[in-house]
């Protein structure tokens, strides 16, 4: 398995399959995808992209820390889940985020993925709220030391 920085163009098909099924591909383009401080990571098994995550320099209005990154588009193909791929992507992301002078990573976590985020050190910051057409989420964050 290799974890590499990859282009947004490469991550979008997996994002679409796992996070926006049945929606037009445009729904898997996220705001800030091409910003200079954004970066996209992919885990590859024998040159096949099996897990992706994207990171944006973006402050959540309810979190005080001045410099923050946001995690979006975290997804692993079903047959590769629970094998540590997402964890590896995050492990590679933390030093990059730190290098960019940020100490906090946040995400709107799908309710079904809360257990995953807790396992990798995120804490819950909100009650459950609904994102229309996607479902129940909570705000979670992790300090990057
Ligand atoms: C959530 C998701 C990204 C996790 O990816 P993954 O590659 O399977 O995660 P990992 O294997 O790195 O998991 C790390 C740990 O969390 C656990 N874990 C993974 N998914 C979990 C879940 N949904 N609930 C509880 N624990 C979970 C793993 O078993 C592993 O535990 P371990 O360290 O004790 O072995 C993946 O299940 C997925 O793509 N789900 C569908 C899309 C989605 O919901 N994405 C999140 C949007 S907010």
pLDDT in tens, 13-30: 999 999 999 999 999 999
**Entry pTM:** 0.98
Q: Beta 104-110 vs 135-143: how paired, if at all?
A: antiparallel
Instruction: Give the residue whose CA is nearest to atom 27 of ligand 1.
Output: 116
CATH number where 48 lies:
3.40.630.30
What per-residue confidence (pLDDT) applies to 145?
86
Q: Using a 6 Å cutoff on CB, does residue 77 contact ligand 1?
A: no
Express each pLDDT in 51-71 by its tens digit. Answer: 999 999 999 999 999 999 999
Q: Using a 6 Å cutoff on CB, does residue 45 contact ligand 1?
A: no
Give the integer Cα–Cα distance in Å for 45 and 106. Answer: 27
Q: Which domain holds residue 89?
A: 2-143
Cβ-Cβ contacts under 8 Å for 80 (sequence gap 6 or more)? 43, 45, 50, 51
**How many structural domains are present in the chain?**
1
Q: Which residues in 1-145 belong to E strands, given as ranges?
A: 2-6, 39-45, 48-57, 68-76, 104-110, 123-124, 129-131, 135-143
Express each pLDDT in 69-126 by its tens digit. Answer: 999 999 999 999 999 999 999 999 999 999 999 999 999 999 999 999 999 999 999 9
Q: Using a 6 Å cutoff on CB, does residue 117 contact ligand 1?
A: no
């Amino acid at each position: 398995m290799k974890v590499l920085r990859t282009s947004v163009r490469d991550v979008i098909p997996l994002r679409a399959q796992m996070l926006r099924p049945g929606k037009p591909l445009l729904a898997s383009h996220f705001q800030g995808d091409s910003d200079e401080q954004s970066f996209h990571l992919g885990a590859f098994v024998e040159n096949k992209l099996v897990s992706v995550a994207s990171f944006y320099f973006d402050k959540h209005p309810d979190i005080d820390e001045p410099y923050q990154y946001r995690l979006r588009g975290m997804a692993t193909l079903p047959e590769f889940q629970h094998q540590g791929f997402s964890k590896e992507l995050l492990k590679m992301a933390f030093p990059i985020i730190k290098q960019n002078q940020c100490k906090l990573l946040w995400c709107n976590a799908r309710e079904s993925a809360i257990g995953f985020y807790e396992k990798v050190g995120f804490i819950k910051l909100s009650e459950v709220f609904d994102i229309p057409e996607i479902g129940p989420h909570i705000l979670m964050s992790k300090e990057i030391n």
